Structure 1
């Protein structure tokens, strides 16, 4: 279908609609990449394929040398069983093969993507230890690049980066809104929603009250052009972001990022918005935390400037698993 230049949306819909079990070994993926299969299609294939071949070091080298993107290699790791060798000689071999450090970091501590079904609330059994809210702030040098990092509170104080998720699946309105607007001359308004295909984020956090660090670049003018497409140019602080709890269904996740009517327009508005606090550590580093426990569920930080939603959105999404039930 890719070779026939069928639209990406049609290919993805076909993958979702059919019964598929794709061959996704390293050689198969390299061949698909050479056939110009794009990352978004790879991601859909990962979601519907069970029992993908176990990954080993040689597979990662083959995928990297086959020019698969860093993001896709990481997601392939997260959707697979792995048998990596992380002894010094093996790490040297990965370095000699020019495998990016970020991929090697994931190989050192692979986290399997959670499979969350319809109606799941991400509630887990058993108590979780409380997350200390007063751990010493890390130095900016602890972070390799700008981004959003989760503070792990195990000995050593590791910081795990949330991989941004790209989406251009923006939808406007529902059938009910359309009918209501016909009778009210647009007073009811239309919601703007963003859909994420898979029902659960790859990044799984088990915590009742997580702590994050937002890392910006530049001592004076903070921007995150590394995030993509200049959408994040001029980001000033975490105050420019909103944390939204996604609605989950068998079709995936969905968040409302705006609402407009014939009388008003709101950006960043939507059910599921979660208030958070932040503290400035330096011009480049902010601590983001919560006053209360956060309910289990699927979440995403997104940039709250509707005027810059001209192309695809980048969201920092994560799956939060804990003992805290969401309010009804």
Structure 2
């Protein structure tokens, strides 16, 4: 917008003051396409760059012409007495004034396109932002209700939750040690190849793991691994993304989800590979609970070949092992799906 179509580069001498109290300094003033550059005449080193649209003249009609990079803060000035340079700068000022008075079709088109771009961004960004907000503010009771809704959907494929009281009592007793006081573990008869984390601190364990293991250590390891693999907030967010924007808005305003909001989500989780944590995180987490990593590793690979680093990093190797459960407790847990 310089209005200097016949010039590729225009230069003239000038007298520059960096501040009102500074000594005047001889400079070369160069007009580019969008900037006014002040350079040291001995080294061609740029001393200052001014934006042409912002340049203002402090003494219209008088010579030498005095310019400043900003009319609102005219501390820095340059004096120019070259008529061609003055005319070039004045031409820019006239072009800018004309452009401001008559924005024209181009500015209107740009404004409309910018508005459309903002609208498109809102359409794309806003729904997910609201869903993420709903997931972040959901209290524990709401998150647990979402978890149970997912579990209900899982029951279509994995079978109804095993509810034998003696086995559930064992789970309720051992869960705080493994996952914290607010966690809850449920067992389903169908195979899960381990454990899954659901919203609200709800964990699901497949009975196939209990039936195939010589002790509770493998199942305990899978529960800990599930807690490390994904955070509660993330699994809640995944669930609400499945439920959609309107269901998430209802959760925020009424505190409940529509009855069928989680339809298909639990079965989709079962159809995907279980999330696995970074193997490097496992030994420390198991050590905090006095748990060996080997039963967990061998439950996934009986040979141990693919998980040898995890076996070798066993924090309990060489340490005296205490039974997690008594024989009676382990038997009750294995029979949680019986009857």
TM range (shorter): under 0.3
RCO greater where, 1 or 2, for CA within 8 Å and sep 6 or more? 1
Q: Comparing both structures, which one devotes a greater share of its residues to helix?
A: 2
TM-score by length of 1: 0.23
Q: Comparing both structures, which one devotes a greater share of its residues to strand?
A: 1
TM-score by length of 2: 0.23
